[in-house]
Every structure is written in C-alpha cells, then in structure tokens.
Chain A
Amino acid sequence: MVHNDKDEVTGINTTGHEWDGIRELDNPLPRWWLWIFYACIAFAIGYWILMPAWPGLHGYTHGLLAKSDRAQVAVELKALRAQRGAEGASLVNASLEQIEADPKLQAYALAAGASVFGDNCATCHGAGGGGGKGYPNLRDDVWLWGGTPEDIEHTLRVGIRSGHPNARMSQMPAFGRDQIVTPDQVNDLTEYVVALSHRKANAAAVARAAPVFQAQCSVCHGPAGLGNQAVGAPNLTDRDWLYGSDRASIHSQIWNARGGVMPTWEKRFDTATIKALAVYVHANASGK
C-alpha cells in the first residue's frame, strides 16, 4: 500500500504506520537484496533435493545425501569406544594400587568411574554414593564385603545374591517369622543389639538374650558382634545401620531378615570399566 505521507526532513514517503509518534520511512530496498531472496529460494530447493526434508505418510524424503544425525551419532560412538578401548588398555594392565598412585591413570579412572557410576549405580546407591535404607552407603568406612580396591572389584564382578555362580552370598535367617526363636527372645535380642552399639538398654533383657545371641547369632556376627566380612555379616557395634538403628528397625530385621540384591556387572562392563569403577568407589570412600 502506498501512502502519500511525506516526511518533512527527508522528503521521503513513510509507510503510513505510526508507533507512539514514530513513523517509518518507506525507503526502497537495494535490488541485490531481492537477489539474495531468490538465492535463498534456490538454496531451499537444492536443500530439499540433497537433504532429508519432506515428511510422508510412511517416513520421509531422505534426499540424495541421505544424511542422518542418528547414523552420525552411531559412527561417533563407535570412534569414541575405540578411543576409550585404547586408553582403557592401560587400566587393564595396571593394578588398582598403581591406578590410584598414578595421576594420569587416576584422573582417567575417576572420570570414567564417575560417569559409569552415575548411569548404573546411582539408582540405588544415590548420585553421590550416599546410599539409603537397605542400600549401603559407599562413602563411609563400613564395608559388608570388604573395602579394599580388590574387594570392591570382586563385589562389582560377581554381585551380591545375584545368581552369579560365585556371587557373594549371605542369608540371615528370619528368626521371628520362621519361629527359630520365640517372639520374647526377639524382643530380648533387640535390646542386646542396642546394647552392643553402646547405647542404653534393658539390662535384664540383655542378660536373657546373651546365651541366645551366642547360640544363634555369633556364628556370623562374631561372639562380640563385630561382624565378619568373609560372610558379609555386618558389625553390630558401630554406628552404621543398613536397615535403621532404632529398636523397631532392629526388631524388624531380626524378625524378617531382609537382604538386598546387587547385580553382577561382569557381563555388562569390560575389565577396564570395572577397574575404573572400583577405583572411583574406593577413592570416594577414602576408606581401607
């Protein structure tokens, strides 16, 4: 639409639109601008021919170049795996102690371990490895099956109650549910375990439970309740409790004897990845 609305200063027509008193001069575009517009149209047509462009009912037009971001990602992932394989080889050949002592290997193992941990382990153990009820805290100094790098690596390989032929196996009997001891004895044992961890408990109950503990529990947990990493029996005298430290939790555990399952990772990860993960877990536990 052409307006006969001349701007007094420049003598050029305006577009006739006004925004808060501001009008726009209707200067003609340079002609090359038009050529660029035509060039863009030509480019678009070329793009349709060469690149994936138009959706159809069953798929889309692939274009002459048949470019696919998905295929490109697959190629890049393959290259990345090859690169990781080369760097991972140095992990395979080194011992876990060597990996921790060497700054370069350590940095690589920690970075790789953090990534694998986040994708696979954090679901149960928490993003930072802090654990939760029923899921061991991997950051402290308490280990059911041992906290040396080798112990951790072995646990990663075979899992716990995982179905692996060499899996770490331990099964606490359900003392209450299976009527191995009487309900009163479960109550007494609860007081006994509370006393073991240096807390105030009913002295009479503790005295009644002592022979029961020695008969039923000391095989795995030890006569003093210090636990045994060889069979995965927890230390009952420390402050670390997998299923809770209060009386109700302890009673429930003696009655029902819960035990979690950790999968075997041997089939899913290669040696280098398991080693990196073991170093990562051990390093962050800063433990034994």
Chain B
Amino acid sequence: MPVLIDTVSNTPKTGAPPPLYKKREPIYPKLVHGRFRMIKWAVLVATLAVYYILPWLRWDRGPGVPNQAVLVDFAEARFFFFFIQLWPQEVYYFTGLLVTAALTLFLVSALFGRLWCGYACPQTVWTDLYIVVERLFEGDRNARMRLDAAPLSLNKAWRKGGKHLVWILVALVTGGAWVFYFQDAPTLFGQLFSGQAPVTAYLSVGILTFATYMLAGTMREQVCTYMCPWPRIQGAMLDEHSLQVTYRKDRGETRGPHKKGETWAGRGDCIDCLQCVVVCPMGIDIRNGAQMECINCGLCIDACDEVMDKVGRPRGLIAYDTDAAVAARLAGTRPVYKFVRSRTVYYAVAMTLVGSVMLFGLLTRSPMAMDVLRDRNPEYITLSDGAVRNGYTVQIMNRSIRPEVYFLEFHGPHGAHMRTVGQTHQGPISVALSADGQRTLRVFVTVPPSDHAHHRDHSEPAEFRLISQGGKRLEKATVFLSSGEDE
C-alpha cells in the first residue's frame, strides 16, 4: 500500500483517507402538531388546489378564441391568463414577472429566511404529500423504522407496494395536470384516455410522473442539498439580521437531561430530548446553528414547543429569530431587530420599480398593434415618370377578443399616396381582422415627380397611422427614402 504524504506539512499521513462517496442517511420524519404544521397543511392544500383546478376554469372570450382561463397555447403562439392575453412579441412581460419574482424572493429571504423553501416550494409540498401517503401505509417514524429493519414479509410487501402504487398514482395525476395548461383541458382529458392525445402530451406526462415519483418519493432532501442551487445562493441573501428558524442557544445551553422536580437554575432549557431532530425532514440538528440543509420549515419549533409545554418552561426555545439577537442576549444586551437594512431597501426598491414598470405597461397596453418594416433592397424605386416609390411591410395585429376593422393611413412627403396589393380604391386601407387576428400587408408609397423637382432630402420623416373604428390611434414612425438628387 502506498504511503500517503501530506503535501502541506510534507510528512506521511496517519489514518485512513476520508471516503470519496457518502452513504445516504435514511430520514424518518416524525409527525408533529402545532402552529407551523397547520400553516404548512394550509399552504399545501391551497397550492395543490391551485395547481390542479386552474386549468379547468373557463373564461369566455367569445367565438374563435379559447375559453380556458389559463392557457399556454404553443400552436397558436398565445398566452391566456383570465383577462390578459399575450402575444410572442410581448414575452418581456414574462421577463419582468420573473425578475420581479426573483427580487421578491431576495427580499423575503433577507427578511424572513427561506420561507419559499419551507412552505411553498413544490419539492417541499409534494414531499409532504408523499410523506402523508407513506404514513398511511407504514405508520409514523418508529413504525417505519421497524418495518425497514424487518425481514421481507407479506405485511411489509403490501405496505411497501401499496405506498409505491399510490405514489405513482399521485405522480401520474401531477404530470397529467401539467399538460392541461397547454391545451384545452376537457378536450385533452378525453384524448389522453382514448389514446388520441399528441405524443408530446404522453411524453410530458411520463417525464413529470417519473420526476415527481423520484424527487418527492425517493430523492427528497437530496434534491435540496445536492441539486438545488438556491440553498447555496441564499448565503448571499441572508445576514445576521435575517429571521431564521433558530435554536436560541443563549437560553438552551447548557443542555442536558432533566428530571421532574429538579431545579432549572444554573442550566439551559434544552433537555436534549432530540424531538427537534426526529421531526426534521432534512435530518439535521437545528442546534448546530444555521445550515445550508435547513429549509426553515419550522417543524422543529412545533416539536420543541410541545416539549417545553410538558416540562413547564416557556415556548420558543427554537423560534424565528436572528443571529444578531442571539448574540446580543449572550452578551447580555437588549436584542435589536433591524428590518430596514441597506439590502432590504435595495431589494424592495428594485422590486417595486420593475413591478411598477411592468404593471404600467400591462395596464396601458393597447389591443391594437402595428409593426412597420421598410424595404432595404432596393431602398427606393424611381418610376419611368420620375416618381419615387418606397415599399413597406406592415403587420397589423388585433390583440382583443372582438373582431375589429382598422384603417391604415400614411403621412409623409407632400403628395405621397399609398396602395397595397389587391387594393382597388384610393384612400386609407381598411383592414378587417378577426378576434385575436393579424394581417401582414405589402404597402407601396409613391411620391410624384412634381413634388420633388426641387431639392429633397435623401431621407424624409414619415409615419403610418392606424385608426380603429372607436377612434383609437396608433402611430409608427418610419422614413421615406429617395436618391436625394435634383432630377
């Protein structure tokens, strides 16, 4: 066997090298009752209800437009959200939403720690749901540990088998609900069972079923510890004034077993009962302080409060608290809670700013839209009589849920007149658009020679004007090009 050399001290090493791989420690979280468990149940029911019910809500938008309240329509390239309807050109609203959400997450983390991880993250919610199923078949912590240690028997087989079967069913429903967001839910529901749904639908259901089963059933805390980047990023969000699930070591230490009737003087309130450890879904000991693995779910607070009630000490040995407050109490000074800090102010301002800009844009958004693209090759055409013509491609969109008739006008150099392909009359072009419809027009603008016999600019300002029957106007600036020479 080769001798290992410590390259720092350049001396032979003693002892075996640490292992390259770590075996997974099984975790059997115990059921706990209390305030935070109640909040978590409520959030679980609410988020799952939203997830499963949302695609089934209807929202009447009139004929020719989907009546699903929330629909990501890839085929028609539309996003419907109740009264909002977005086109692909408006994807910046999603960018804004994501930026706002990220900043909100930063702010909430800086103030209250990992609320998202502990309560709202799908990984947490579905893991909780899967543990409910697990408890149903295998019992609570101790029963589960006994069952795992027991040799294979009929009892163990049906309990384990039943658990996995229900897990897979839950996963199937989860994956199944996901695809309803992308097509008409009632139609797709029928298609899924009759085998007529698109291959991508079955594929998506399959992938999500597998992912749900793996992540919530078997991977659980490994996802948070090893796969998710957020626990590592949050280190930059938190500081000593952030509220986190905290073991108040100023009150708990010195810990040790306590017999009934003994005095509490000269010792801490922690009786080392390990209840905070056995209920932890992440398998950590909160008394070691803030840890990357801790998702701040608050279940150890419930467990500890229960114990404190039993031994007749005040609740809150484990509580939402800050490192600064603990340090202050240890030093014998009054703890100060600082919610207004430079980072919370920055996050709040940035969040409000981005959110307001996006909200303003959404509220003042017009259902009529137009894009103008000027021909660049050739830039302009000189006609046989010396007139100059420019070509434009004009896309006109009706983002409302009613059919509309718009009138297109051109305002530019004196004497300019426009026509489009197939147009039979002079004057503004009328464009009839269906609900949620669009049309692309080739428009040609001609300026007669008499009007530019004098010197003219190579590029003259011009604009297309779109007017709805209701009188709404929309202008798009462009230019009219010519040779710029006296002819």
Contact = CB atoms under 8 A, between A and B. Distances in A.
Interface of A: 1-5, 13, 16, 26-34, 100-103, 106-107, 110, 126-130, 137, 139-142, 235, 238-240, 283-284, 286
Contacts of A5: 8
Contacts of A235: 384
Contact of A16 (B4, B8, B226, B385): B8
Contacts of B444: 286
Given A100-B422, A284-B391, A4 B13 contact: yes
B245 to A, nearest CB: 20
Contacts of A31: 21-24
Interface residues of A, dominant DSSP:
loop
Nearest to A13: B18
A238 B17 contact: no
Contact of B20 (A28, A128, A137, A139): A28
Given A3-B8, A30-B222, A128 B384 contact: no
A53 to B, nearest CB: 24
Given A3-B7, A31-B21, A239-B384, 9 more contacts: A28-B20, A103-B422, A106-B422, A128-B375, A128-B376, A128-B378, A137-B381, A142-B383, A286-B444
Contacts of B18: 2, 13, 26, 28
Interface residues of B, dominant DSSP:
loop
Given A110-B421, A128-B375, A141 B384 contact: yes
Interface of B: 4, 6-9, 13, 17-24, 222, 225-226, 375-378, 381-386, 389, 391, 419, 421-422, 424, 439-440, 442, 444, 446
A107 B285 CA distance: 68
A32 B7 contact: no
16 contacts: A1-B7, A4-B6, A4-B13, A27-B22, A31-B21, A34-B21, A101-B424, A107-B439, A107-B440, A139-B381, A140-B389, A142-B384, A239-B384, A283-B442, A284-B391, A284-B442
Contacts of B381: 130, 137, 139-140
Contacts of B225: 30
A93 B389 CA distance: 32
B391 A139 contact: yes
Nearest to B444: A286
Contacts of A28: 18-22
A103 B440 CA distance: 10
B480 to A, nearest CB: 15
B283 to A, nearest CB: 13
Nearest to B21: A31
Contacts of A126: 377-378
B21 A30 contact: yes
Contacts of B389: 139-140, 286
B149 to A, nearest CB: 20
Contacts of A33: 21, 226
Given A26-B18, A31-B22, A126-B377, A238 B421 contact: no
A194 B235 CA distance: 83
B422 A101 contact: yes
